Chains A and B, each alone.
Chain A
Amino acid sequence: MAAAHKVVVKKAELSWLDRLYVVSVAKGMGITFAHFLKQIATPTRKRYTIQYPDMKKEMPKGYRGLHELKRFEDGAIKCVACFMCQEACPARCISIEAEEFSELTYTQGFEEKRPAKFKIDMLRCIYCGMCEEACPKDAIWLRNDYELAAYDRLSMAFGKWDLINTYADQDGKATLTAETESPTTPRRTVAL
């Protein structure tokens, strides 16, 4: 609209009852006391405050936290090193090195490529989920884990081994060991 709106701000007139203060003060005190009683009667578990190290927040479905590289039941990595996620990543924090391999397994079909190195710099990642969107193989997922902190930068560079292993058994699947040794120093060892 082109015409400028004229906003008339009217000063709220207090009625004589309000100007006595007493009634409105009593009303307000009633409200705060109700809150006081309610909060005291509520058990700690049900209060709004989540007392963090002792209690943890249930993250909602679709929360975008730490990544996981998914695997087949036999432990073979789903990723085919197509670089889609690396291209899609707006933060440019994924770096993949592909390798060829010839041990064809049943579950993996007839892929001939897999990542030799798969590194995500968690310090640069903005957890936008674009890699998850871009992946044609559903090989990279963002999980619910949000406790991402470390004592140095190096331990925030997650390698292939970290991404496969560390969080692999949280959705009910058995933990499987990656066939290759960790290309980077395992995150946990650096961090602690």
Chain B
Amino acid sequence: MDTLAHLLHLSPATAWIVVKVLLAFGIPMALGPILTWGERRGSAMIQDRIGPNRVALFGKIRIMGLLQPLADGLKFFFKEDLRPAGANKVLFWLAPALAFIPAMLGLAVIPLGRDFVSGGETFHFSLLDPGNGMGMLLPMAVGAMAVYGVLVAAWSSNNKWSILGGMRASAQMVSYEIGLGLAVLAIFMATGGYDPHQIVAEQAKGWFIWRQPLGFFVFFVCMFAEANRLPFDFAEGESEIVSGFHTEYGSMKFGLMGLTEYVHIIGASALIVTLYLGGWRLPMMADQTQLPVLLTFAVFLAKLIAVSFVFIWVRWTLPRFRYDQLMNLGWKKLLPISMANLLVIAYLMKGR
């Protein structure tokens, strides 16, 4: 840490902030495109196909088509940037950013690795240090902001399909938020605080996936709805409303919308890992405060990628829900389950 700071002519604290900013924004930025590749290759493997494998570096090195996202991105930049007549110009331009920025902010409070002491100072491995007063509320609040991106995009395109998709998606996201909140509340109760560092520390006693399996189930399902992923991808729908809320988008604006979906997956995976899968902790190890910092970071990344894969895996397994089924599931099943989970946890904690 000190040598790096010295090289950059910065104080260790400032250098650490630079590193953290790079990580917190670099991880979604880098993993997002890789996830698009993973989705296409993964779906291909699941369906006994091969998937994109022909894009090659200098026309020679194929590396399993890993450069496909790069080629796609390049293509997006060279596409004509259309704005439909009658679209609200300002909002139409603003919507991709409105969708993308909240998605990017999700990782800000997540501890990416173990805190460590260097030169008498404690460094926290999350962009915002613990005790900032926002804790877990930030990703939840910012995640809820994602509705605006979808809705503004839908509204401003002046397109009936878009608005239908936007309305459906926002109704879905709002109704799943409640079950989600109640599930997280149980965790806050068990932890006695809502700071992600505290939550990860609490999981030294056992990951919350084992201690609150019902809560995990509800949270996991709700996260699919929040990230607008299949089986709950009501923002889009080829057969009903064309491309849904981004029907009118083209060029890099569409690219950004597409990337947002994957950044959402990463954000959702990070939340799941932090809340239920023990964050950067290795399983079955009591004292983990002495592990190498980079190892804890690697563990976190590995968990993140594994959960992201589950998102992809589920998408290519399950058929979509119908809209009424979706609402049924959200309000009549997940909400009561989530509530019951909260009450049971509360009852079990009564004696303490």
Contacts of A36 in B (CB 8 A): 42, 45-46, 313
CB distance from B158 to the nearest CB of A (A): 38
With contacts A29-B313, A29-B317, A32-B317 known, is A49 near B46, CB below 8 A?
A: no
Contacts of B45 in A (CB 8 A): 35-36, 39-40
Interface membership of chain B positions 285-322, coded 1 if the CB is closer than 8 angstroms to chain A and 0 otherwise = 00000000000000000000000000001101110000
Of B42, B45, B217, B316, most A-chain CB atoms within 10 Å: B45
Asked if A63 is an interface residue, CB under 8 A from chain B, the answer is no
Number of interface residues of A (CB under 8 A): 17
Asked if A47 is an interface residue, CB under 8 A from chain B, the answer is yes
Tell me what chain A mostly uses at the interface: helix, strand, loop, or mixed.
helix
* Interface residue range, chain B: 10 to 19
Of A31, A32, A49, most B-chain CB atoms within 10 Å: A32
Contacts of B318 in A (CB 8 A): 25, 28
Asked if A48 is an interface residue, CB under 8 A from chain B, the answer is yes
Asked if B47 is an interface residue, CB under 8 A from chain A, the answer is yes
- A-side residues, CB < 8 A to B, are 22, 25, 28-29, 31-33, 35-36, 38-40, 44, 47-49, 51
Contact of A32 among B44, B46, B50 (CB under 8 A): B46
CB distance from A127 to the nearest CB of B (A): 29
Bound CA–CA A22/B213 (angstroms) = 13
Contact of A33 among B48, B49, B313 (CB under 8 A): B313
Q: Which 6 A-B pairs have the closest CB atoms?
A: A39-B45, A32-B317, A49-B50, A32-B46, A36-B45, A28-B317
Pair B48/A47 contact, Cβ less than 8 Å: yes
Contacts of B49 in A (CB 8 A): 39, 48-49
Pair A47/B317 contact, Cβ less than 8 Å: no
Closest to A38 in B: B48
Pair B48/A32 contact, Cβ less than 8 Å: no
Closest to A41 in B: B45
Known: A22-B217, A25-B318, A32-B46. 8 other contacts (CB 8 A): A25-B317, A28-B317, A28-B318, A35-B46, A39-B46, A48-B49, A49-B49, A49-B50
Contacts of A47 in B (CB 8 A): 48, 50
CB distance from A22 to the nearest CB of B (A): 8
Contact of A44 among B50, B316, B317 (CB under 8 A): B50
Contacts of A25 in B (CB 8 A): 317-318
- Ordered by A's residue number, 8 sampled pairs between the chains whose C-beta atoms are within 8 Å are A25-B318, A28-B318, A35-B47, A36-B45, A36-B46, A47-B48, A47-B50, A49-B50
CB distance from B220 to the nearest CB of A (A): 11
Contacts of B217 in A (CB 8 A): 22
